[in-house]
Amino acid sequence: MSVKITYFPHGTTTDNENHRSTGWNPGKLSELGIQRSKELSNLIRDKKFDMVFSSDLARAVESAKLNFPNWGGVLQDKRLRECNYGDMNGVSSESVVNKDHIETPFPNGESMLDVEHRIRDFCEFLIQNYDDKHIAIVAHKAPQLAFEVITLGKTWQEAITTDWRKVGSWQPGWEYIVNG
C-alpha cells in the first residue's frame, strides 16, 4: 500500500516579504505570490492528480486555487497547517527558530514533533482512502519538513538544515511516497 504525493508550498505572502513567521494566522499572498502561483499552474498543468488537498489556512487555500484553477474542489485539511507558533504567530522570522522547538513547543503552541504527529495521522488517512493514488498537497514549511522526516528518514535536524528554503533550491513540486 502506498500513496504518491507531490507537495507544493504556498506562494509568497506579505508576511514572507516582511520577514514575519505567520504560523496559524491566515496570511495573505503578496502580488509576487499570486504571480508565482499562476506560473506554477502552467508548469504543472500536464501532471495528473487523483485529489488535491490544502491546509485550511487562507494563504494555502488561495495558492491551491491558483495552482489548480480547473480543479473542481480542493479538500482543506487542518492537519496540513503550519506549525502553531503560539504566542509567536506573526512575529519576526528571526525569532522563530524551528531547530530550538523540535521537542519543546513554542510558547502556547506546538513543537515540530507535534506537527509530525499531525502529518503521520494525515498519512494514515491517505493510505486508508487513497491507496495507489497520486495526491497533490499545498501547504507550509513545517508539514513539508515532517514529510521529509516521515518518508525520507531524515532527522528533524537534517530536515531543517537541508530545507530548500535555506539552500535556495526551489522546484515545481517535491515528491514523496507514503507507505502503509
Q: Residue ranges per domain, the chain?
A: 2-179
How do residues 28-63 score in pLDDT, each as one tens digit?
999 999 999 999 999 999 999 999 999 999 999 999
Phi and psi for 122 in degrees, rounded to 5?
-65, -40
Quote the pLDDT of residue 146: 98
Q: How crowded is the C-beta side of 159, counted as CA atoms within 13 Å? A: 22
Beta bridge partners of 160: none
| The C-alpha cell that represents 59 in the structure block | 494563504
- Report d(CA 162, CA 147) in Å as an integer: 13
Q: Alpha helix (H) ranges present in the chain?
A: 14-17, 31-43, 58-67, 112-129, 141-152, 156-161, 164-167
| The C-alpha cell that represents 103 in the structure block | 521537542
Residue percentage of the chain with pLDDT more than 70: 100
> Residue 123 pLDDT more than 80?
yes
> Residue 72 pLDDT more than 80?
no
How do residues 77-116 score in pLDDT, each as one tens digit?
999 999 999 999 999 999 999 999 999 999 999 999 999 9
179-to-3, 24, 54 alpha-carbon distances in Å: 7, 29, 20
Task: Yes or no: say if 143 and 57 are a contact pair by the CB < 8 Å rule.
Answer: no
Quote the pLDDT of residue 71: 84
Quote the pLDDT of residue 12: 96
- Report d(CA 162, CA 149) in Å as an integer: 12
Quote the pLDDT of residue 168: 87
Which pLDDT band holds residue 180 (cuts at 50, 70, 90)? confident
- Report d(CA 154, CA 79) in Å as an integer: 21
pTM exceeding the 0.85 threshold for the entire prediction: yes
Quote the pLDDT of residue 74: 93
| The C-alpha cell that represents 74 in the structure block | 480542493
- Report d(CA 103, CA 80) in Å as an integer: 19
Quote the pLDDT of residue 162: 95
> Residue 155 pLDDT more than 80?
yes
Quote the pLDDT of residue 63: 97
| The C-alpha cell that represents 140 in the structure block | 507550509
Quote the pLDDT of residue 95: 96
Instruction: Enter the CATH code of domain 2-179.
Output: 3.40.50.1240
Tell me how long the chain is: 180
Quote the pLDDT of residue 70: 86
- Report d(CA 122, CA 111) in Å as an integer: 17
Quote the pLDDT of residue 30: 97
